[in-house]
Structure 1
Amino acid sequence: MTTLLTSVTASQRLDSRGKPTVQVEVRTVDGTFRAIVPSGASKGDYEAVEKRDGGKAFGGNGVLEAVKNVGEIIGPALIAQRFDLGMGLKELDYFMVGLDGSSDKSNLGANAILGVSMACARACAAAKNIPLYEFLARETRLRRQGFVMPVPFLNVLNGGVHSGNPMAFQEFMIAPTGASSFAQGIQWAAEVYQELKSIVAKTFGKAAIGIGDEGGFAPPISQPHEALDLIMAAVKSAGYEGRFKIGIDPASTEFFTEGEYDLGFKSGEPRKLSSTQLMELFQGLVGKYPIALLEDPFAQDDWDSWSAFNKICKGSAVELVGDDLLATNIRRIDKASKADACNSLLLKVNQIGTVSEAISAAERAYELGWSVFVSHRSGETTDDFIADLAVGIGCGHLKSGAPCRGERVAKYNRLMDIEEELEAKKTSCSYAGEAFRYAHTNTKG
């Protein structure tokens, strides 16, 4: 039986920062399927372009034009093409890419296109009568040997443009690699988070337990070692020493100016480091703390620093993740491969604008022997799509913020649902744990 789109509509809704975003609803004989698009605050120059209205409403951030593009251009064109959703998503996604016609989806808006892509992915899964994560797994070129539940990297201390404190580095994450299941890992992480809350309150006063965009605390600290010492104290207090790894996302593009990195960019008191000095700072932190992952340690076009630091990291356990550097874009991935600049892709579906292109980017990273790290955005929604995506592509780890705020917890709750579902069906399912970087090798090309 052919499954066709019968309706494609969109509406303006709000993300976790109260800014407008696009909600898309598609209908087929199987029902109604919805998706809501996230947005970032720390954005690289190579991301697909959102369509924003400008003007006075919502400070120029309205998305009514993108909503109109879904209802008047994208939807009618897809319905006219009579795509059989039972055949998968790729043809539909790449048709939308061609319909837009630009290199960065700026004509119709990446937020318009992605909303349709995500909603249609759910409709495709329903057409096959399978869960979304299984549909996404089938959309890859990999033959799966069971499913792998990802290790959550939870951003428990916020800095950078995600908070009002003087900390330059944007995210400090905890990862329960020593747990035996995803559910246990979330339990441990939630307990550490609560211990951290108590420590922050005791150290800086209750006013310091306010949270940043991604649910992490934002105490009045400015030095990376201060954040890491707080985390280590919380892990110890919770009774989980040796069972957690740490990830850091400095989001260095945000404080890179004229060839230097200004770690005092938020305080008004410059603290400028050369790339060599910044490398030495990272090396010192890695040598002292159980850091397993560094994301965007250098700016998006500081290729020499990326390549030099990647040589230093060779043979170590540190995952060097490209976010702004790569923008979930295969052209940027290939450039980074030639420059030997990193060993991991941060996967954000709204950076590229369709689900199929995001999956292709992950496949390319795997071909290069890299790992893949699925990510939310700071301007999130309660849509839990990336939870299924992480399981579907077998990436072994994802980040969705602190165990706080509904739009963050929605992803973790969905992953616990998936784990329970797989166990109930007696489907092969394991927790990535210490081997999170290599979870995808549990597949065959």
Structure 2
Amino acid sequence: MAVLLSSLSFPLTITGASVALPGLADDLNASPTGAQWVVTGYNLCFAAFLAFGGSLADLFGKRRLYVVGVSAFLVGSVLCSFAGDVGVLVAARLLAGVGAAVATAAGQSLLAATFDGPARARVFGALGTVLGIGLTFGPTVSGFLVDAVGWRAVFGVPAVLAGLVLLLCPFLPAVPGIGGKQVDWAGGFLFTVGLGALISVSVEGPVLGLAHPVVLGAVVLVVVSAVGFVRVERRRCAPMFDLALLGDRSFLGYSLVAATMMGLLVPLLVYLPSYFIDVVGLDPAQAGLWMLMLTLPSVLLPALGAAIARRSPRLLSVGAILVTTAGVAGLVTIGPEATPWTLLAPLLLTGTGIGVTTGVIDGLAISSAPTAQAGTAAGLFNTARLATETVTLAAVGSALAFLGGGHLAGGGFTDALRTVVIALGCFGLLTAAGAHVLLRREVVAAR
């Protein structure tokens, strides 16, 4: 119950921030770049510390690190609720993202260490359902909260949930750490610095210009961190990521599929509610209801995806990307006069591709790796997906701000959003082709 409750609060704070963006930007007089960091900063820390948090949990004990992670998330969320400045809000979101990452990794490790056999399958099935519910209904619940209480409520409610989780923590089993296990401090540091620098380039590049010393310095930092990370991981006996897994075509193909789906979905989750509120003229509650057209298939369609995967995993993988890409590209007709009927087809198509792959691609990817490397494969798979999601979100936010003339409203927002969905459509087509080649070659090699 503790892990399920915390797992519900983490996606809720991601989708909630998207609905709260227009209100908090006005209230705190935040620039488009500053408002963008409210969302991107949380995702950045979540992606950067997820695998690192798992290593720390193995070393220091799963319950102990779970408590640390939930506590950090609670403190960060409370600070978000009372922030009077966008800088404080972004810093609080960074802290909450680190806490969520550590608690997610430690919580899942705690479940795996506590349950065996059919019980473990049921528990992780329930975990997937809760995550799907948080993703699906997060925008809708957040919209009603913003309407009823204000934007600060979308950070306050997850804080309350985290507080309830801490009350349950003394009753959790104490799973001790593994003596003698080494943490890949160097790999974790280089990965975090490199990802942070890459996000900074995506966010600040369009604003400052690619020739600005700050942006050029960040580019250099990305390259140096990437080279150093690869060298460190290849030399360590117990690396944070086993890069040899990237030589497995099936694992690489399924990871590409999962990363693509999040890269297409998350920017829409974040910026469509703002468009509905600022341009179409909806209130936050109405915007949340409209978002159900996009998110509801994630709860309804995983079983269909599993059935398709049993017949042809490649058909599911490539087909899902193409369906989602068609839906995203269909949003090119969006405008101030949009109605649920004009958006129904593109949003449902996008959500359908996401829905049939939810949880299914995870299983295919991890199953394609050797059993002894299942844990390492899961960490690398989830980090690749989250990192791609974060980079795409940052790039889309910067593109919208740049193309919209520095503000997200009116015709400038519409033209910018139309350009962005075309670019996302091209991205989807390229990755669909890549997944087709990777998974086809693996099938041919197997035969």
What TM-score, normalized by structure 2, do the two folds share? Answer: 0.26
Q: Which has the higher strand share?
A: 1
What TM-score, normalized by structure 1, do the two folds share? Answer: 0.26
